[in-house]
Amino acid sequence: MDTLFFENPSAEEILRAGEMIKSGGLVAFPTETVYGLGANALDAEASAKIYAAKGRPSDNPLIIHLADPSDAEKYAFTTPEFQRLAERFMPGPLTVIMKKREIIPRTVTGGLDTVAVRVPSHPTANALIRAAGVPIAAPSANLSGKPSPTSAAHVVRDMFGRIDAIIGGSDAEIGVESTIVTLAGEVPCVLRPGFVTPEELREVLPEVEVSPAVTGRYEGVPLSPGMRYKHYSPRASVTILDGEYSHIAAFLADRPECGKLCFAGDAEILAMPNSREYGEKDDPSSQAHLLFSRLREFDDLPEITEIYARKPSSGGVGLAVLNRLIRAAGFNVKTL
Ligand code: TXA
Ligand code: MG
């Protein structure tokens, strides 16, 4: 398939991309979290094409992206909790799950009777949704299982030739996908941590749980089907290293051939071969911003078959960083 690349999109090109979506095409676009792969969320066939382009299991539901939170009631049975969340966090990196209305096809929701709704703050995303005139179903624009794309180059690498168009832009500001909270159960529950933290959600809703699947291996039926699949994985295998810095540095010194992910100030490790920093130790937002692109950089080094990563702390946005890294590592944590 020929893929158009709108590297620095003009207003006209965004209108054209909106037309493509409306008429059943697939268009990748930047958001503040990661790049998305969009299709018309009201068109069951168009949404089904997303699964094929990503190589994604079709029971893993998609998030629908809206230009304005007031549109949500057309597609979901909104609640007072949703209104409070929308007022505080939308547009922005928060996705809310509610009971869906009939108009959203079940191919979009993986057969579930709920729908995930997000209002991205990125101006290109917003302009594209307005140009399409329909809600846009969009997963992250990576091949299934790969780290989510945080740059246009990542999207080109994974999706060129597989979709109708790619809209470029700068690197994703946040770097990890949106926080997902479900309002479909008894108590609001975070299914995927992101830039909006559980603490911040609790400032708006009296009670918010965090799913045990966020940092654990989940036994039983997951609330979010995406939690079942191996995720965010570079080609090499990943192991998280937990423990004192000096122990970690000594362990890595013996392994020049392995990839190493550490923090910006870790001078001793950074001086070793094949090492990269992913942000400041005490600044989880800087880690979120870099993690996926660093994991992808190791895919360009064919001799690397094993990557070791220093464990991030789990406070605030750190919970999202740890969640992604734990999945990239397939729950493989080594204590030193
Ligand atoms: O930041 C983001 O959310 C990005 C950008 C593009 O907006 N999108 C994104 O989509 O991360 P995706 O498809 O990669 O992840 C969506 C997650 C999946 O884990 C899926 O299982 C879950 O949301 N999900 C979607 N609808 C759901 C529903 N009705 N119930 C439970 N989980 C749902
Ligand atoms: Mg994804």
Residue 231 domain-assigned (yes or no): no
Q: Is 72 in the same domain as 182?
A: yes
Which structure tokens are listed for 297? Answer: 């950089």
Residue 17 domain-assigned (yes or no): yes
Residue 309 domain-assigned (yes or no): yes
* Ligand 1 center to 62 CA (angstroms): 5
Q: Is 52 in the same domain as 201?
A: yes
In this structure, how many other beta carbons lie within 10 angstroms of the beta carbon of residue 156? 18
Residue 232 domain-assigned (yes or no): no
Domain containing 192 equals 4-214
In this structure, what CATH number is given to the domain that contains residue 117?
3.90.870.10
CA 112 to chain centre: 20
- For residue 218, pLDDT over 80 is answered with no
Average model confidence (pLDDT) for the chain? 94
Q: Is 39 in the same domain as 132?
A: yes
Greatest alpha-carbon span in the chain:
59
Identify the band that residue 216 occupies on the pLDDT scale cut at 50, 70 and 90: confident
Q: How many domains does the chain contain in total?
A: 2
Q: Is 264 in the same domain as 297?
A: yes
Nearest ligand to the C-alpha of residue 178? Answer: 1
CA nearest neighbour of 47 among 123, 126, 111: 111
Q: Is 17 in the same domain as 128?
A: yes
Q: Is 61 in the same domain as 167?
A: yes
Give the separation between CA 145 and CA 158, rounded to whole angstroms.
Answer: 11
**Helix and strand counts by DSSP (H, E) for the chain:** 10, 16
**φ and ψ at 276, to 5 degrees?**
-140, 145
Atom of ligand 1 nearest to the CA of 142: 14
Are 265 and 126 a contacting pair, CB within 8 Å? no
Q: What is the pLDDT of residues 11-28, one digit of tens each?
A: 999 999 999 999 999 999
Q: Is 126 in the same domain as 35?
A: yes
Residue whose CB lies within 8 A of the most ligand 1 atoms, among 180, 196, 289, for a mutation test: 180
Quote the pTM value. 0.96
Q: What is the pLDDT of residues 88-115, one digit of tens each?
A: 999 999 999 999 999 999 999 999 999 9
Residue 204 domain-assigned (yes or no): yes
Identify the band that residue 60 occupies on the pLDDT scale cut at 50, 70 and 90: confident
Q: Whose CA is nearest to atom 30 of ligand 1?
A: 224
Q: Is 30 in the same domain as 81?
A: yes
* Ligand 1 center to 308 CA (angstroms): 27
Q: Is 249 in the same domain as 302?
A: yes
Q: What is the pLDDT of residues 194-210, one digit of tens each?
A: 999 999 999 999 999 99
In this structure, how many other beta carbons lie within 10 angstroms of the beta carbon of residue 96? 29
